Structure 1
């Protein structure tokens, strides 16, 4: 049973997923961070950071950032939105169960964002040599992460298998 089962509904989950999907666009368009090192100031979006990493030969880090910051959040949001949209349907239950389990498994890897935050804090602590400021994109990305977590928490997986689902159950 979902930890918020008293309040859970596919519609609430879908509303948070849609909100996160809408915020996903500005999170990837606006600058994520401004980094000043030895007086040189650079502002970059998530995508520009990925391109820079790959251009400098850090393919592994570029791929991890691409997957953790762009592909996985979008996939998770699309799945949550689809699950909310099809919750009252009796079709494709096994597929929807697999999709829900995928979302839950992906959620366990969200700690990668905490690791990235720790690296950024370390950069910010470099004192007079470096200064980092979060951009509008980082605030939008934080909201995407929060709304995704809320959407996932409010989705009750029993609605996938419950033929008599109604909002009061």
Structure 2
């Protein structure tokens, strides 16, 4: 049984359980006064909009230079992948692995995972609620590692700029990548996980 079936609404701000008022257009939380809803308004539509925008920004994030290294007056622009290759050439394999995982694998997993989750919920695909819940928790878990390579690049910029022979400037690819990170984080927040359980009856028919 879902909470909505028992006439209970949860506050997304303080997680207080509120008894649903029959025939009420809207009601406030009894603890913090925030507006409570059975489901977030236009959750799927907003999440789709953020997800599509993030997917579009993912293209320049990977194909445009994320940084340019200037040494002795000469600049060498690098994309994420070329930067990973350069780090490997300089025997900085651990940092290259961090950048590859955080810049390539994590955003790809989030985009694909959110797409599958939204599609399965919206189209009532034969995917169990437990599988959807596991997928949602996995997306939230990997999201915290999305900015890891930005921190690494920041450290590299700081270290290089301490020298007098080289400097690093961020490119538009870094801006696009940060946009992807922020948009996917917002997409995960705007998605209402309670929608996962709304078609459990149809899911059980497929199991």
> Structure 1 unaligned runs (5+)?
165-169
Deviation at 1:131, TM superposition (A): 2.6
Partner of 1:119: 155
> Alpha carbons of 1:56 and 1:128: their partners in 2 closer, same or farther (altered >3 Å)?
closer
For residue 185 of structure 2, the aligned residue among 127, 149, 155 is 149
What is the 5 A alignment of 1:80-159?
80-88=114-122, 89=124, 91-92=126-127, 93-123=129-159, 125-126=161-162, 128-159=164-195
Aligned CA-pair RMSD = 2.5
Deviations for 1:66-109, whole angstroms, at most 9, x for unmatched residues?
11001111111111122122223263122211110101111222
Which structure has the highest helix share of the two? 1
- Cα deviation per residue 1:21-80 (whole Å; 9 max; x = unaligned)? 111111100111112133332111010001111122222221111110011111111111
Count of residue correspondences: 164
Distance 1:90 1:74 in 2: 22
CA distance in 2, matches of 1:117, 1:59: 14
CA distance in 2 between counterparts of 1:115 and 1:8 reads 34
The one of the two structures with greater contact order (alpha-carbon pairs below 8 A, sep at least 6) is: 1
Larger radius of gyration: 2
TM-score scaled by length of structure 1: 0.84
Matches for 1:24-43 after TM superposition, within 5 Å: 24-43=58-77
1:64 aligns with one of 76, 81, 98: 98
